[in-house]
Chains A and B, each alone.
Chain A
């Protein structure tokens, strides 16, 4: 396989062709914030948090879908990027009804972690307080759309790994919502296998198990990579959970 050399934040690196910038950065312990990305799922480039600068073009590129080419000069942490990342988290915070203090994943939430990381001390956008629904019809799980950030991890894990395709998106723009099957109560979904994968990959408290109190829910998101590796590469090696 051909090898390409390039620089990230001033350091020279090389990688085999076909790897994306995010994978390479992680291999070298360079931190790029992400939200819609999850190891094992298809890449989307939708949350725009992993945007990086590439010398020679004014455009920004999502690290998760961009592959380096020979001689590429990549910057992951400029002032412009930091400012935009903060604004994106600000937008997410203003979009939903995120109340950390009463949330089931308080302290173990990726959105909360991102807010700390980008130094979000206040939100300049007016809160939208959308009128969102909560679906507790499933026997084991709950979907609280107030806490959803529309990363579509649940949609992808259900389609790509469980192959049930219970979840999809309805509506458009600011009115987008995750729906079960033909926009029906989750508990009545005939396609749901109750495997719980969507609950475990959800970055926030939008999907959770019944019976956990505030702050009690811990998620374990590394399993997707395990399943995908096991299937594709026949590697039945369980790595230690990444999130906790």
Chain B
């Protein structure tokens, strides 16, 4: 394929789409699949066929439309109408009234001027509700693979890295390492083979950003990886996806096959000297494999256990070769940066945290779903304008970011800008984008215990502080919840948390105590109110297994 072929393909596809007066898109992401979008799809198809509208109206499955809590969702692209809670019956009405007679079905329509949509800025999710998630032609018609073609024909690898560096893009997996810098290290590494790895092992409870991107726009990730390959001189890429994402893996497989057929992956891409292949590796269900060194070992077919860094993967990664490892969302940002230029991207967000961030809103919030916001947006805006606040009759208590590695942000910090620098000042982290909202009905000790149980179960067992420490911290929290812990236990809990944080080998153990430490920091009263005095403890007849300093 040449760049002319790509343009021709885009034009052909645009012409094909233009022959329909209406394009009706149903959300085919896992959230809507679970709320019954297959029946909606069948209903739409049947109605279109029965009413003889198949020449006039095209029906396709698209990526996540955002309002995951209100699914199944249907979007009429032509006049931008979004319908929620669609079932077979209302699907027929949409076809009959909206497509057939040209009037909106107000009963199900969602107001697109609502703050949920108006406050968002879509870069990574721009193709959701725009293209068919399983069609490379539609991706190409929506400026897809333009960036790769541009890079291969007009830019040197150094130019690509310089552009990514100037854009200020930072790793979206959570740590926020500058992407351009990482690529530069790999580029400068001397080796006969280098690798690109995409981390799609999204494991934080309540997070589904990467899944949605892979399900809705897999080609964008492939394009980002190919650009990275060109930039650093790698010819092989791996996507490491968790087995719990079968739909995402299917779409990814389809996308890779399509791209290979089009000559966009393979040898001499766009008639240049650049060869690049992508393979999928499927995880076996370990959270710790989201940690980069464990992930790389798992890709190589070994037990997924982290190892001590340095050396970092950018020096010694897969089979000891320099390896770029980035998150799905990071790769999804690359093509727009190359296409639109770094200055455009750097203009979004804050000077140190540029661009946008995708968040998965979950928990006690009115509109759960997938949102993309510019960096630096106040937390209040995400939760109250976009998320619509907590359910009626309850009061916002805290937002948990960063999953089991992050912390809770209480009410008094609601005006905090959401970026890489600000969140750590209140003991949380940006994380990969999970945001769980808690209201006045949530018990913070329970929340901490839940996350600690998760970390305890997911600890790989390699280093002592994480293997044994998470088990004991969980036990201590349980003791507090049971109302059997004293002040001595509470002090020891804090001591153990700090110890596990400072001595663990990898990010899992180092951040596992964060939910406990941050809930203690802001909601200490919830802990202390559950403690009992030494006198009361003696009355329980329990043996003072831990913390018995008096003995």
Contacts and interface: CB of A to CB of B under 8 A. Distances in A.
B354 interface: no
Given A51-B503, A87-B496, A87-B499, A174 B468 contact: yes
A169 B304 CA distance: 11
A174 B459 contact: yes
Interface string A42-56: 001111100100000
Given A125-B472, A173-B460, A48 B467 contact: no
A163 B476 CA distance: 42
B546 A172 contact: no
Interface string B484-504: 000000001000100100111
Interface stretch (A90-98, A136-144, A218-226): A90-98
For chain A, the bracket of interface size reads: 20 to 34
A214 interface: no
A162 to B, nearest CB: 19
Contacts, number: 95
Contact of A173 (B461, B492, B545): B461
B463 interface: yes
B410 interface: no
For chain B, the bracket of interface size reads: 20 to 34
Contacts of B504: 48
A125 B546 contact: yes
A191 to B, nearest CB: 17
B468 A94 contact: yes
A176 interface: yes
Interface in A57-98: 58-60, 62, 65, 83-84, 87-88, 91-92, 94-95
Chain B interface mostly: helix
A48 B505 contact: yes
A211 interface: no
A104 B398 CA distance: 53
B297 to A, nearest CB: 13
A174 B499 contact: no
B110 interface: no
Nearest to A35: B464
B545 A128 contact: no
B457 A91 contact: no
A176 B468 contact: no
A176 B467 contact: yes
Contacts of B462: 44, 46
B498 to A, nearest CB: 9
B469 interface: yes
Interface of B: 286, 288, 303, 307-308, 456-472, 475, 492, 496, 499, 502-505, 545-547, 551
